[in-house]
């Protein structure tokens, strides 16, 4: 058949829309999307027939309906969705970091449904400041005189530097010039903030006299950066916060401390190693401390800035603050988590990330043993499932070298099935709730530390069973 006559067999968009299948697509997705999808799939078919006139679907019209319907399903399936993080990294930046407490979620829902007093003082009946909802809490929890909040900690660092040291020099130890994932590099941030970086000391050793020399050369601030994702070990030396604080005070310059993970309470409560708190950093002389809301704090993504009233006022007045500010949903979640921090003794239950980080290895082992059989039967002859000990990490650069003893379900692909470990991992990513593990030693490891709802995990597996054709 000549290709032109095959082309003529492709029905018009109007005809497709007028059919029963077309009407049902319009009902489902609206007329505009239905038209767009029919145009796309008809265009694809036309191009295909141009290349291969014989490669023709048996029933062109129903084929077009089916393709359009599949495209619409795909388009209307959320791209951003919940997954199960069984990677063993609790605060996983690529997987959204901290899971929020229920009260934070409720607060988000409640302010997002309608109007709120985001920047309105209900008492005075006049304009308010969005910081008002969280500033007192931050001061109460850290001992700071004043506080503000922006979109994330990278923004907090950028804004702090730009507000306090734009067109001036800032001293940072060579041992603290960090790069964090996603191209956050201290020297670049300094540049973008309009500051001149003065590197002091060496990679492994920096002394007070190194900072003192920089002060003599006219730096307006010294900055400490938490070495979040690595540790310098061996022949090392760094200047304690108290000494940097004293140097700054004596010379009337500013001491900025970027804590990164910023645990608000003593982490040893949860069986975790100690991590400096903003309260300690301030007590040890920092004028400004910056930290993340969604790392060890366990709340929403944001960057918290606490410090002296004078510094915070300068930061607040910077026009960039407006560009970096948080939205009402973040502020609602943040205020709600501060209410939980009012009772530190219950945090191990009320804040999911702390609950997960503090979970005992015995508890996780018990869960792994309880689930082993069900996972094995869902996998049939694809893989053999064993229960093995492993180490979780905190993630997000918090306490980089510390590991938490944990237990995993380990899926070893069976050679007889022909399935490769990467294919097995892909199968789990295709589940209704995608399950993300870690591949190690040719096996798929599911660290169960972050698995709290075992029933949901098991029922989610039923979709795997249906398509495990290995
Ligand atoms: C994580 C981190 C940042 C960046 O914080 P985000 O919340 O990811 O923007 C900055 N500094 C340090 C030391 C960090 O650990």
Each residue's pLDDT tens digit, 248-263 = 999 999 999 999 988 9
Q: Whose C-alpha lies nearest to ligand 1, atom 13?
A: 260
Q: Residue 3: which pLDDT band, with cuts at 50, 70 and 90?
A: low
Q: Residue 232: which pLDDT band, with cuts at 50, 70 and 90?
A: confident
Strands (E), 310-447: 383-393, 403-413, 435-436, 438-440, 443-447
Q: Whose C-alpha lies nearest to ligand 1, atom 2?
A: 260
The set of residues, in sequence order, having a beta carbon less than 8 Å from that of 173 and lying 6+ positions away, is: 199, 200, 201, 206, 210, 211, 224, 238, 239
Among 187, 193, 145, 147, which residue's Cα sits nearest to residue 167?
Answer: 193
What's the CA-to-centroid distance between 259 and ligand 1, angstroms?
8
Atom number, ligand 1, closest to the C-alpha of residue 302 = 7
Atom number, ligand 1, closest to the C-alpha of residue 178 = 13
CB 81 within 8 A of CB 299: no
Atom number, ligand 1, closest to the C-alpha of residue 301 = 7
Atom number, ligand 1, closest to the C-alpha of residue 396 = 1
Q: Give the model's pLDDT for residue 68.
A: 97
What's the CA-to-centroid distance between 298 and ligand 1, angstroms?
14
Alpha-carbon distance of 199 to 159, in angstroms, equals 20
Is the pLDDT reported for residue 455 higher than 60?
yes
Atom number, ligand 1, closest to the C-alpha of residue 229 = 15
Q: In Å, what is the CA distance from 226 to each residue of 91, 312, 423?
A: 17, 21, 39
Q: Whose C-alpha lies nearest to ligand 1, atom 5?
A: 153
- 209-282-130 Cα angle (round to 5): 130
Q: Whose C-alpha lies nearest to ligand 1, atom 6?
A: 153
Residue-averaged pLDDT of the chain: 94
Q: Give the model's pLDDT for residue 400.
A: 64
The set of residues, in sequence order, having a beta carbon less than 8 Å from that of 233 and lying 6+ positions away, is: none
Alpha-carbon distance of 161 to 165, in angstroms, equals 5
**Pocket test residue of 182, 292, 295 for ligand 1, highest count of atoms within 8 A of CB:** 292
Q: Give the model's pLDDT for residue 233.
A: 86
Is the pLDDT reported for residue 469 higher than 70?
no
Task: Give 132-171 pLDDT, tens digit per residue.
Answer: 999 999 999 999 999 999 999 999 999 999 999 999 999 9
Q: Whose C-alpha lies nearest to ligand 1, atom 7?
A: 153
CB 176 within 8 A of CB 225: yes
What's the CA-to-centroid distance between 284 and ligand 1, angstroms?
21
Is the pLDDT reported for residue 183 higher than 70?
yes
What's the CA-to-centroid distance between 260 and ligand 1, angstroms?
5
Q: Whose C-alpha lies nearest to ligand 1, atom 3?
A: 260
> H-type helices in 251-293, by residue range?
278-283
What's the CA-to-centroid distance between 181 and ligand 1, angstroms?
9
What's the CA-to-centroid distance between 46 and ligand 1, angstroms?
51
Among 76, 62, 38, 84, which residue's Cα sits nearest to residue 457?
Answer: 84
CB 245 within 8 A of CB 255: yes
**Pocket test residue of 155, 173, 183, 260 for ligand 1, highest count of atoms within 8 A of CB:** 260
What's the CA-to-centroid distance between 142 and ligand 1, angstroms?
18
Alpha-carbon distance of 404 to 98, in angstroms, equals 17
3-state helix, strand, coil in the chain (%, to 5): 50, 15, 35
Q: Give the model's pLDDT for residue 381.
A: 87
What's the CA-to-centroid distance between 219 and ligand 1, angstroms?
24
Least confident of 212-216, 232-236, 458-462: 232-236
What's the CA-to-centroid distance between 292 and ligand 1, angstroms?
6
Q: Whose C-alpha lies nearest to ligand 1, atom 1?
A: 260
Is the pLDDT reported for residue 356 higher than 90?
yes
Is the pLDDT reported for residue 467 higher than 80?
no
3-class SS at 351? coil
What's the CA-to-centroid distance between 30 and ligand 1, angstroms?
43
Q: Give 182 or 60, the one with higher predicted confidence.
A: 60
Q: CB under 6 Å to ligand 1: residues? A: 152-154, 157, 180, 184, 225-226, 228, 258, 260-261, 292, 303, 396-397
Q: Give the model's pLDDT for residue 465.
A: 64
Which is it for strands 288-292 and 254-260: parallel, antiparallel or unpaired?
A: parallel
Atom number, ligand 1, closest to the C-alpha of residue 93 = 8
Q: Give 6 or 412, the one with higher predicted confidence.
A: 412
Q: What is the DSSP letter of 209?
A: H
Is the pLDDT reported for residue 115 higher than 80?
yes
Is the pLDDT reported for residue 87 higher than 60?
yes
What's the CA-to-centroid distance between 216 and ligand 1, angstroms?
30
The two three-digit tokens of residue 435, written as one number? 């399950």
Is the pLDDT reported for residue 427 higher than 60?
yes
Q: Whose C-alpha lies nearest to ligand 1, atom 14?
A: 260
Atom number, ligand 1, closest to the C-alpha of residue 157 = 10
Task: Give 330-339 pLDDT, tens digit per residue.
Answer: 999 999 999 9
Q: Give the model's pLDDT for residue 401.
A: 66
What Rg value do the Cα atoms of the chain yield, rounded? Answer: 28
Q: Residue 399: which pLDDT band, with cuts at 50, 70 and 90?
A: low
Q: Give the model's pLDDT for residue 468.
A: 52
What's the CA-to-centroid distance between 184 and ligand 1, angstroms?
8
What's the CA-to-centroid distance between 430 and ligand 1, angstroms?
31
């Amino acid at each position: 058949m000549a290709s032109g006559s095959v082309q003529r067999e492709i029905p018009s968009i109007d005809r497709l829309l007028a059919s029963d299948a077309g009407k049902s697509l319009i009902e489902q997705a609206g007329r505009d999307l239905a038209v767009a999808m029919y145009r796309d799939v008809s265009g694809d078919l036309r191009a295909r027939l141009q290349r291969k006139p014989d490669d023709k679907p048996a029933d062109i019209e129903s084929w077009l309906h089916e393709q359009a319907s599949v495209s619409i399903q795909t388009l209307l399936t959320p791209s951003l969705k919940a997954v199960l993080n069984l990677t063993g990294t609790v605060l996983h930046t690529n997987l959204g970091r901290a899971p929020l407490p229920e009260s934070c979620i409720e607060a988000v829902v409640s302010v997002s449904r309608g109007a709120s007093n985001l920047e309105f003082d209900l008492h005075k009946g006049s304009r308010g400041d969005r910081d008002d909802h969280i500033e007192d809490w931050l001061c109460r929890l850290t001992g700071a005189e004043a506080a503000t909040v922006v979109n994330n900690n990278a923004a907090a660092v950028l804004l702090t530097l730009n507000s306090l040291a734009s067109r001036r020099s800032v001293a940072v130890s060579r041992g603290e010039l960090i790069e964090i994932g996603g191209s956050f590099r201290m020297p670049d941030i300094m540049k973008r903030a309009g500051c001149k970086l003065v590197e002091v000391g060496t990679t492994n050793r920096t002394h007070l006299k190194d900072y003192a020399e920089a002060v003599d050369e006219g730096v307006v601030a010294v900055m400490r950066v938490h070495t979040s994702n690595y540790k310098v070990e061996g022949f090392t030396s760094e200047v304690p916060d108290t000494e940097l604080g004293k140097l700054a005070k004596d010379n009337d310059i500013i001491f900025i401390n970027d804590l990164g993970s910023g645990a608000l309470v003593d982490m040893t409560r949860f069986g975790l190693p100690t991590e400096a708190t903003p309260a300690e950093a301030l007590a040890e002389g920092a004028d400004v401390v910056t930290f993340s809301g969604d790392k060890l704090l366990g709340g929403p993504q944001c960057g918290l800035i606490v410090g002296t009233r004078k510094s915070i006022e300068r930061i607040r007045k910077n026009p960039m603050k407006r560009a970096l500010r948080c939205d009402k949903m973040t502020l609602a979640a943040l205020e709600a988590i501060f209410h939980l921090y009012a009772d530190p003794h219950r945090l191990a239950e009320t804040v999911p990330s702390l609950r997960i980080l503090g979970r005992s290895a015995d508890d996780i082992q018990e869960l792994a043993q309880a689930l082993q059989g069900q996972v094995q039967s869902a996998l049939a002859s694809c893989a053999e499932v064993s229960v093995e000990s492993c180490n979780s990490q905190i993630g997000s650069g918090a306490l980089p070298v510390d590991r938490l003893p944990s237990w995993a379900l380990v899926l070893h692909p069976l050679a007889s099935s022909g399935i490769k470990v990467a294919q097995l991992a892909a199968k789990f990513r295709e589940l209704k709730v995608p399950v993300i593990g870690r591949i190690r030693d040719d096996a798929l490891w599911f660290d169960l530390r972050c698995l709290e709802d075992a029933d949901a995990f098991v029922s989610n597996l039923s979709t795997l069973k249906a398509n495990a054709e290995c």
